[in-house]
Structure 1
Amino acid sequence: MDSAQLLLEEIINSDICKGCSPPDAKPLLNFSSKSKILIIGQAPGIKAIESGIPWNDASGRRLREWMEISDEDFYDKEKVAIVPMDFCFPGKGKSGDLPPRPICAKQWMGKIMKELQNIELTLLIGQYAQKYFLAERRQDTLTSTVRNWKSYYPQYFVMPHPSPRNNIWLKKNDWFEIELLPVLKSEVKRICK
């Protein structure tokens, strides 16, 4: 067992999700020292937590469509690392899920990044991942950040969240599917061949 697997098991067996909903929730993430694509989202949704499978909901289906990747490749941790900013469901807010709790990234993100030395493509999905990784390099809004995706590429692909709640954003910003997604699909295909 390598150090990445040991770290993953340490996180999963930690009490970082103690007090989360549902009460018996375990951290939901997956990675390997061999992972080539890194997906950093905000936090698992309640459906993903209940099933124990990351991105196991409508958002995940759309993300896999955007990447043009099979479920088999998406859930192969030697190909794709899934590391959200918060490892459990943060709860419901007035207009969607609550923001990710900062404790997971603060305690574990640096250690995880040290283990992921074979990453060729990193997807920063949503404002929380972009704020953490881009810091002062990000734009004032998520739309501006994603609109300027080429200034972060090839280090990062900056993306909106694939939630159905963002359907209006996607309709208003059709350049996302026209300009960014073909490049993303090409990169994923190259890496997963």
Structure 2
Amino acid sequence: MTAADARTDQEIGQFLLHYKFGLDEMLTKINILREELAFRGTGSPIEHVSSRLKSLDSLQAKALRHGVPLETEAIAAAITDIAGIRIVCSFISDAYHVLDMLTTQPDVTVRTIKDYIANPKPNGYRSLHAIVEIPVFLSDTARTVPVELQIRTVAQDFWASVEHKIYYKYDKAVPGELIDELSAAARVAHELDARMAELHRTVHG
């Protein structure tokens, strides 16, 4: 490794640290909501939460694949999924409610929202996606960091997990019959969400 490569790695490593702090800030917000709603006795709409931060190697590989220079400003402008949080809810209405609670906080700025629940992808994928910006206060400055949120139901998450494993196994060259099965399963998952929501309304009024 040359001295220039080492400097690049150090700069991108520091850059990634800012994204880690942004991830921590958003996770704190989510945990506060979960605890507050649980304390109220109404039950939390959030079933579970997971997060991920791209590694230095993964980020550099993606930048190279997309022809993005290995410079922090260029990476920040081109790659929006460096830090991500997945929130899994029981019901579709909960997913929208959680998105609203998070994106209306005064220190959260919404960059984009994509509603793949109302407008699913052609393969049947359903989820709410948002890129939000959160301020991070460092020792000598403040940075605004984007974090990707994916908010979905248990059924949608299960389908997406299976779909990801299938595409990974076949290196994206999935046989047509499996694609058809995945599309059919996506419809079944959505029907299950609708039926469970109706049961929930019946029980709770």
Structure ranking higher in strand proportion: 2
TM surpasses 0.5: no
Higher relative contact order (CA 8 A, sep 6+): 1
Please report the TM-score for the alignment, with normalisation by the length of structure 1: 0.30
Bigger CA radius of gyration: 2
Please report the TM-score for the alignment, with normalisation by the length of structure 2: 0.29
